[in-house]
Every structure is written in structure tokens, then in C-alpha cells.
Structure 1
Amino acid sequence: MLFCFLMGSGLNMMAQQIKTIPLWPGTVPGETSKQPYKMSADSSRSVHRIAEVTDPFISVYPAPLQVRKDVAVVICPGGGYSILAIDLEGTEIAKWFNSLGYTAFVLHYRVPKKELGALQDVQRAIRIAKSRAAEFGYNPDKVGLLGFSAGGSLSARASTLYEEQQYRPVDKADSVSCKPAFAMLIYPAYLDKGVNRALTPELKVNGATPPMFLFATADDQYSNSALVMAGALRDAKVPVELHFYSKGGHGYGLRPGNPAADVWPGLAQTWLKQFDTK
């Protein structure tokens, strides 16, 4: 029902033109050249997948003026750091955020298997989003993250490693902090690579880590990631909300016909309202 709304009348509110912003005006860190992104031939489950990104960028989905709130979200699609499920966990999510009044940025980070590049890309994306807040109409201190699966891993890394400069500054935008205001991790993966499936050592959770919303299901092979991250946030006294349902599996986005997809958007919407106040 929700997805039908987005594909139907809800899109009438979203006549704003989508703008694309390259992350790196010059050389991309660690890349020898910039090439147009390449799509995968695999479109199973009606999911469009990007197979290769060497010139990362963000697509801007401005919220309609009549419902616009002062919050923006950078969306990190999943795909195992190998592909980007760009519609299922990107553009469809951005349009849903627009329907709620939030400006959205879909991050096309580097793949395949470029975990450092992806972290550089998300840090740069947050800084660009903050530096252009006046242009798109939100508060630069209210730029958060939402990530699915590997994108949830990337969002967790960005939320805990924001004090570690991952690239040489490029321009004025890099003088801005890349710390997100909040993070929403939906069926996150790869957060439990520590000993005995403990929290991944790379993730530096402490009292300054931004608030998080986590959603996962017991029948998802990666669901321990949400549990260990929630535990680490709790222990550090960081505001955290965890929802752990029995069924839903992995990789459902907003699409109908999945019990988890039916419930997480409403829970996330309610949680996100705390950041709406002017």
C-alpha cells in the first residue's frame, strides 16, 4: 500500500527536479580514472543494481515546499559492497522520505569491493549535504543517515569514525564536520566481525556517537549486527531504539508483501519526528 502511494498520487507532490552532485570535482581518492557507472545485467526480484562506480555522486531529492521539514537524510543503498540496489534501497526510499517532508540524498558510493572508498564517499557526501543546506532548505545540523545491509554497515562506520579524516581535503565543504545528526540502520550487515560475533573492532562507539534507530528480523542471517550495535550503544548511553521482528528476511526495502517492510517505515517515521522541531 505504501509503495503504491509512492508510485501513484504521492509523486504528484514530488515534481522537484532531481539534481546530481559529483562528490569529487577533481581526482577521486584511490582511483586512476573516472568512468560512468555501470549497471548489472542482474535485475532479479525487479531490483536494478549498479555494478561499478568509480565517479561517486549524490542524487538530490528536495522535499516539496508545502510539506518541507528542516531535516535531510543521506541514503546508503546496500549490496554487499559489491553492487548498489539503487531502486529498492535508494530512489524508492528517497521518494518516501519526500512524501514525509524530508529532503533526501541517494549516495552512489564506490563499488565493487571498495570499502575504504565507500567510507571516503559517505564522509564527503555528508559534508556536501551540510554545506548546501541553505540551497535545499533544511538545517545543516540535522543531516542524518539511513542505510540498508552493507549501506547500514557504511552508515555505522560513518557514525563512529567521523573524527578520522579518510581523505585529503578538497574544498571549503571539507571544513565541515562529517558527523551525522542520527543514523537509521535497516537490516544492517557486517557489524559483528569481532571475536565470537562481537561488535566489529573498527566501530568506535562512545558517548558522542549519534542516536540510532535499528530494525532487523530473527530470520535474517545478518541480524546479529543490529543486536551487537544496539548493545554497544546502550552501554555507551547513546540514545538507541531497536526493533527486532520474527520474520522478514533480508533485502525488502519498502516493497509490499513482506511483514517487515510493512512495519519498519512507520516505526522509523515516528522515531524521526524527534528531529523535526525547529
Structure 2
Amino acid sequence: MKRFFILLFFIVCSAFALAQGTDTLYLWPGTVPGETEAKHPPVQTANTSGNVTRLTDVTDPALVVFEPKAPSNGASVIVCPGGGYNILAIDKEGYEVAEWFNQLGFTAFVLQYRVPNKREPALYDLQRAIRLVRSRASDWKLDPKRLGVIGFSAGGSLAARASTRFGERTYTPVDAADSLSARPDFSLLIYPAYLDEGENRSLTPELRLNEATPPQFLFGTADDRYGNSVLVMAGALRDQKRPVTLHFLSEGGHGYGMRKGNDAAETWPALAEKWLRRLTLDDNRPLLP
């Protein structure tokens, strides 16, 4: 038993060593809403296939802070890794993405939301994270009106849910931060999953769009088994006359992050950068309501 805990300690430490963040910000100061297990460090799984570090058993949700080495542009983004709501592909769809945003001048926050099989609590975690970053925007010299989210696969589902359910009180407020808005100012959904769980593969019913739904950048591929999600979401945003940009390639598959060797992985970052610059950087204005 002692050897087991020593091994677990080193697994957890190795996972955190991969993160080059400047700080870790825990979301819930006391009891974690909707959580039945005690707080403990996340567990790195033994599966490292594809050179991916996978975390699971998250009971103490947190943000890993990545501050830009170059001058900050005052904008920020919360990164939601994917993993089927079972694990978090924490490096491939988290830390590596955050470092890319740093190169653009963004302050990035990688979200360790609750897994496995905790879809609703995961939404609590992202909503709380958005509010917490806004409440402490002055600490990082950020504009609280230029805070977005980006998500991959299940993380894309989570980002879409936060971008459409921000008007709901999903958990009991715990402090003054929870009086702030949980609405992202912009959203990027990269090969998102689970957005077409409605009748006849229509928009998932919980995703309720309206005039306040933030601008969205959607990217997917035709050979992705979840590829219908971006098409359904783009159509729904268009129907609601909300700002939406869709890019859809013929090939790329799923779960490629932004690593070299996959055309889709090498394509979306340049397109996203152009969209972000037009939306948040070039003239430094607040985003559309």
C-alpha cells in the first residue's frame, strides 16, 4: 500500500511538472458544489498513448495560469481540454494551447474541470472559473470584457454550454465573485462533440441561443465522427443572427490539438488568430454584446 501511494505521488507530480503555468488557482474555497468525494490532486492515468498526458478523478477543480512572456494585450481565455468527460487531455488540448495564446499576448487559464462522468458539475466549474477570473482581472491587468473560452471535443461541448447557459444560476453562490457575469465574451469550439444530441441530430436541447450568445469561431472536419456538431451549432447561430465563423475541412479526424503532422491541426490556429485579432486585438474595443 505504501508503494502505491508513493507511485501515485510521483504520477501526480509528473503531470504538474508538464505545466509551465505561473500559478494554480483553485476554484472552490470550501465545499465543492455537487461533489461527493473529498478534495485531492487529480490522477494521471497510465494511458499515455499518442504522447498525451491524461488526468482523471478531478475533485478539486483548478485553473493553471499561463501569463504571456511578451507584453499582454489585456485579453484572456480559459482553455477547456477534451476527453469525453472522462479524462482531460491536459497537455495536448490544454497547456500547449495556453502557450500558443501566450504568444499572441493573451493570458491563458487551463481549466481542470471535474471528471469522470460529471457533465453538470463541469459546467459549474467553468462558470465559476469565468467569474473568478473577472473578479481578479486587475491582478493580471486584464480587461474583464475581453474574456473568452476555447474548448476541444468534450471541452468544446463544455465551452458551448457556458456560452449558452450563462443566464442560469447552476450553483449556490459562495462569495462576491459569483455576483459577476458567467458569460464568455467570445468562444472558440475546436472539433466540439455532443452539440447535436437533439431529435434527428439537431441542436442539443440545453444549448439555448439568444441575442446575448457571444460570437463564436467553429472548426471541424468532415471525417470526424463528431463533425456534425459544428454544422448544427453554426446553423443555429446563423438562425439566431449571432456572429459565427465556421471552417470545415475534408480531413483531419478528431483529437489532433495543434500538433504538427495533421493538416487540420496546422490550419485552425492561423484562422483563429486572424479571427481573434479582428475581434479582440486590433482596435482594443470591448466585444459585441
Structure 2 Cα separation of the partners of residues 270 and 27 of structure 1: 41
1:60 corresponds to which of 57, 61, 65: 65
> In the alignment, which residue of structure 2 is the partner of 1:92?
96
> In the alignment, which residue of structure 2 is the partner of 1:37?
42
Structure 2 Cα separation of the partners of residues 199 and 116 of structure 1: 18
Letter in 2 for 1:60: V
> In the alignment, which residue of structure 1 is the partner of 2:189?
185
> In the alignment, which residue of structure 2 is the partner of 1:267?
271
1:88-237 → structure 2 map (5 Å cutoff): 88-237=92-241
> In the alignment, which residue of structure 2 is the partner of 1:8?
none
> In the alignment, which residue of structure 1 is the partner of 2:74?
70
8 Å CA contact 1:67, 1:100 repeated in 2: no
SS at match of 2:145: helix
User: Which stretches of structure 1, 4 residues or longer, exceed 3 Å deviation after superposition?
Assistant: none
Letter in 2 for 1:49: R
> In the alignment, which residue of structure 1 is the partner of 2:54?
49
Shift of 1:67: 2.7
> In the alignment, which residue of structure 2 is the partner of 1:7?
none
Shift of 1:17: 5.6
Structure 2 Cα separation of the partners of residues 268 and 240 of structure 1: 12
1:230-269 → structure 2 map (5 Å cutoff): 230-269=234-273
8 Å CA contact 2:160, 2:187 repeated in 1: yes
8 Å CA contact 1:58, 1:125 repeated in 2: yes
Q: Percent identity?
A: 59
SS at match of 1:81: coil
Shift of 1:51: 1.7
Structure 2 Cα separation of the partners of residues 17 and 39 of structure 1: 18
SS at match of 1:141: coil
Residue range with higher mean Cα deviation, 25-34 or 146-155: 25-34
Structure 1 Cα separation of the partners of residues 250 and 233 of structure 2: 18
Cα distance change on mapping 1:17 and 1:39 into 2, 3 Å: closer
Residue range with higher mean Cα deviation, 29-38 or 113-122: 29-38
Letter in 2 for 1:238: R
Structure 2 Cα separation of the partners of residues 34 and 68 of structure 1: 33
> In the alignment, which residue of structure 1 is the partner of 2:12?
none
SS at match of 1:269: helix
Letter in 2 for 1:98: N
TM-score, reference length from structure 1: 0.93
8 Å CA contact 1:133, 1:139 repeated in 2: yes
8 Å CA contact 2:21, 2:64 repeated in 1: no
For structure 2, the residue ranges without an aligned partner over 5 or more in a row are 1-19, 285-289
Structure 1 Cα separation of the partners of residues 21 and 91 of structure 2: 17
Shift of 1:256: 0.3
For residues 9-54 of structure 1, the C-alpha deviation after alignment (integer angstroms, 9 at most, x for no partner) is xxxxxxx861000000000012231111111110000000002100
Letter in 1 for 2:58: V
Structure 2 Cα separation of the partners of residues 17 and 78 of structure 1: 19
Alpha-carbon RMSD across the aligned residues, in angstroms, is: 0.9
Letter in 1 for 2:100: W
Aligned length: 262
For structure 1, the residue ranges without an aligned partner over 5 or more in a row are 1-15
